[in-house]
Amino acid sequence: MIIIEWLQAYGPSMIPTFNLTGDMFLAERLSIKFGKVSPGDIVLLRSPESPRKVMVKRLLGLESHSVTYVVDPMNSDRCDTIVVPKGHVWVEGDNIYNSRDSRQFGPVPYSLLEGKVFCKIWPPKEFGSLMKSGMKDPDL
């Protein structure tokens, strides 16, 4: 079993945490196995829409948490609230204007989580911990 691995993030969904051109980061897989994730963590997950695809998103809610989100940020500021069902999590990209996440496909089964991102390693000027950075709500 792989415990720690380095990966690369591409695309706009996690801007500004990750750059569009592809940042490298380290992720570990033990936290997921032992249920040691919490809101604000950046996680790896198997896409619920395309199982061959691994996504990087920010975890915003665990089962039984109430999550308020902007339904369609490009066209309105209408918000909705959901209580995350048992055995699921709520994930969103940091760039709500260009991210496919729980706002479109709903709560994600916990079993699709694969790892927790903990350190950006490239580009060198941005090297460092990613633990809880960029959280939407500092009270989480």
pLDDT score of 52:
93
Q: What is the pLDDT of residue 74?
A: 86
Q: What's 117's domain CATH number?
A: 2.10.109.10
pLDDT at residue 132, as a whole number: 62
**Residue 138 to residues 12, 61, 63, 135, Cα–Cα distance (Å):** 23, 13, 19, 6
8 contact partners, CB below 8 Å, separation of at least 6: 22, 23, 24, 25, 122
Q: Per the domain annotation, does 121 fall within a domain? A: yes
State the catalytic residues. 13, 57
Q: Are 43 and 60 in contact (CB under 8 A)?
A: no
d(CA 104, CA 121): 30
The residue range of the domain holding 103 is 4-61+89-129
50 domain residue, yes or no:
yes
Largest Cα span, the chain: 44
Question: Which segments in the chain show pLDDT lower than 50?
Answer: 133-140
Whether residue 24 lies inside any domain: the answer is: yes
pLDDT at 123: 80
Element (H, E) at 30: helix 30-33
Which tokens go with 135?
A: 């959280």
Number of domains the chain is built from:
1
Task: Copy the structure tokens of residue 63.
Answer: 């089962």
Residue 115: what pLDDT? 95
